[in-house]
């Protein structure tokens, strides 16, 4: 991406910022009397969560479901693995910054193995041979360095975050060092935008099963997702492993129980015949 294109992209983001700010102000109108200690901005967060959910249900989720329906599974798996291969480069970089050399070496090995034997990352041969993915990012790196996460915050379109993680995401994009960097460096604008869109669709499609799971077991989706996010990030800072395909997985002993007990389900009303 040349300097002119980068300037144009920043200009578009600048034009979008006021709209995002307005939606954030409007979203903060609701009030939660007793917010969680980890979520002092719960009034704003719940409203922004509802905004994101509306956007997701109207556009992102249907597109992801259509993509899953029309794209053969081998093709989807190949695409997903290729994007994961780029994310593994970012994870390796952050593992070294965190002083976790063993994790960094493991992730570098995964990238090299999958990029060669795995046909450019299309086949995850590293996982087939017992090498687990260790997902990490700049927000976790700052946490390992001792930066407090700050309050939980729901970002427009991006969803769950914290002050620390939101700053890390913005900083990584600002300096053009992130898993999306290779795509941003493509000069062909239609091709670049297509890859970015495919990355977003692939990511949303990978969350469909986890999304359905939350729908089945959570009485309050917002609280469940918030607590799972917080516990998951704490586990990553501590260096604990989790399933990278399930963003809602957290430390089991810490996550509150949001499942529906049989006693909580009202008895079904007797069926009546049609009139």
Q: How far is it, in rounded angstroms, from Cα 108 to Cα 113?
A: 9
Contact predicate 162/149, CB 8 Å: yes
Q: Kindly compute the dihedral angle of the four CA atoms of residues 251, 256, 262, 268, in this order, to the nearest 10 degrees.
A: -120
Please state the φ and ψ torsions of residue 256, each to the nearest 5 degrees: -60, 155
H or E segment and range at residue 193: helix 189-206
**Ramachandran angles phi, psi of 16, nearest 5°:** -75, -25
Q: Which residues contact 38 (CB under 8 A, 6 or more apart)?
A: 151, 152, 226, 230
**CA 230 to chain CA mean position, Å:** 13
CB 83 within 8 A of CB 202: yes
Within 13 A of 85's CA, how many CA atoms are on the CB side? 25
* Per-residue pLDDT tens listing for the chain (275 residues): 555 555 554 555 445 544 554 555 454 455 676 678 889 999 999 999 999 999 999 999 999 999 999 999 999 999 999 999 999 999 999 999 999 999 999 999 999 999 999 999 999 999 999 999 999 999 999 999 999 999 999 999 999 999 999 999 999 988 888 898 999 899 999 999 999 999 999 999 999 999 999 999 999 999 999 999 999 999 999 987 665 556 555 434 444 444 444 444 444 444 444 43
- pLDDT value, residue 19: 52
Taking a C-beta distance cutoff of 8 angstroms, is the pair 50, 156 a contact? no
DSSP assigned state of 261: P
- Positive or negative, the CA dihedral 38, 40, 46, 49 is negative
Q: Is residue 264 classed as helix, strand or coil in its secondary structure?
A: helix
Q: Enumerate residues 6+ apart whose C-beta is below 8 A from 98.
A: 136, 140, 141, 144, 145
Residue 221 CA, chain-centre distance (Å), reads 16
pLDDT for 187 equals 92
pTM of the entire structure?
Answer: 0.77
> Could you give the C-alpha distances from 5 to 83, 138, 143, 174, 181, in angstroms and in order?
23, 26, 33, 14, 14
Residue 236 CA neighbour count, 13 Å, CB half: 28
Alpha carbon distance 5, 193 (integer Å): 12
Judge whether 170 and 138 are in contact, CB under 8 Å: no
Report the alpha-carbon angle 264-267-271, nearest 5: 155
Instruction: With residue 257 as reference, give the H or E element that holds it.
Output: none
pLDDT of amino acid 84 = 96
**Beta-carbon count within 10 A of 191 CB:** 11
């Amino acid at each position: 991406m040349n300097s002119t294109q980068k300037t144009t992209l920043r200009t578009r983001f600048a034009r979008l910022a006021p709209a995002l700010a307005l939606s954030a102000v409007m979203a903060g109108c609701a009030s939660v009397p007793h917010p969680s200690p980890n979520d002092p901005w719960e009034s704003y967060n719940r409203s922004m969560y509802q905004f994101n959910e509306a956007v997701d249900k109207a556009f992102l989720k249907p597109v992801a479901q259509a993509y899953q329906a029309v794209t053969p599974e081998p093709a989807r798996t190949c695409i997903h693995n290729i994007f994961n291969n780029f994310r593994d480069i970012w994870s390796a970089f952050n593992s070294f910054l965190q002083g976790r050399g063993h994790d960094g070496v493991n992730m570098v090995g995964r990238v090299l193995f999958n990029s060669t034997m795995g046909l450019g990352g299309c086949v995850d041969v590293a996982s087939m041979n017992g090498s687990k993915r260790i997902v990490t990012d700049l927000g976790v790196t700052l946490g390992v360095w001792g930066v407090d996460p700050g309050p939980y915050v729901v970002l427009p379109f991006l969803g769950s975050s914290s002050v620390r993680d939101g700053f890390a995401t913005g900083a990584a994009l600002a300096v053009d060092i992130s898993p999306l960097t290779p795509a941003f460096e493509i000069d062909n604008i239609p091709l670049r935008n297509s890859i970015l869109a495919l990355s977003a669709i692939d990511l949303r499609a990978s969350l469909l099963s986890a999304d359905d799971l939350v729908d089945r077991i959570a009485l309050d989706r917002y609280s469940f997702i918030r607590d799972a996010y917080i516990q998951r990030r704490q586990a990553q800072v501590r260096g604990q492993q989790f399933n990278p395909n399930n963003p809602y997985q957290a430390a089991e002993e810490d996550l509150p129980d949001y499942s529906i007990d049989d006693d909580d389900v009202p008895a079904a009303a007797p069926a009546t015949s049609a009139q």
